[in-house]
Amino acid sequence: MAKVIREVIKIDEELCDGCGLCVPACAEGAIQIVDGKARLVSDRYCDGLGACLGECPQGAITFQKRDAEEKFIYLTQRHCFLGIFVIP
Ligand code: SF4
């Protein structure tokens, strides 16, 4: 998988209390709670749009611009505007 410089989320483990509010906020499924802390599952799933940022009451999520895997683009019911449903 090719890497490019782009914005992806960064989760501060010290600030994160594991509440899990960011998980459903991410339509791409890029965040999971592992060992009581939010984790970015894969760079590929983070679209860099930051839907999760406003959901974090601890301010634990920020953007960082770095070398990351290219986005994995897929269509789900939540993303589809054309009536074509493709579930990965
Ligand atoms: S919303 Fe914030 S505090 Fe809660 S799990 Fe996600 S990163 Fe951690």
Count CA atoms within 13 Å of residue 70 on its CB side: 5
Residue nearest to atom 4 of ligand 1 (CA): 19
Question: Distance, CA 82 to ligand 1 centroid (Å)?
Answer: 33
Q: What is the CATH number of the domain that holds 57?
A: 3.30.70.20
Task: Indicate which atom in ligand 1 lies nearest the CA of residue 20.
Answer: 5
Domain that holds residue 45: 3-69
Residue 84 lies inside a defined structural domain of this protein: no
pLDDT by residue, tens only, the chain of 88 residues: 688 899 999 999 999 999 999 999 999 899 999 999 999 999 999 999 999 999 999 999 999 999 988 887 655 545 544 444 444 4
Question: Distance, CA 52 to ligand 1 centroid (Å)?
Answer: 9
Residue 75 lies inside a defined structural domain of this protein: no
Q: Are 72 and 4 in contact (CB under 8 A)?
A: no
Residue nearest to atom 3 of ligand 1 (CA): 16
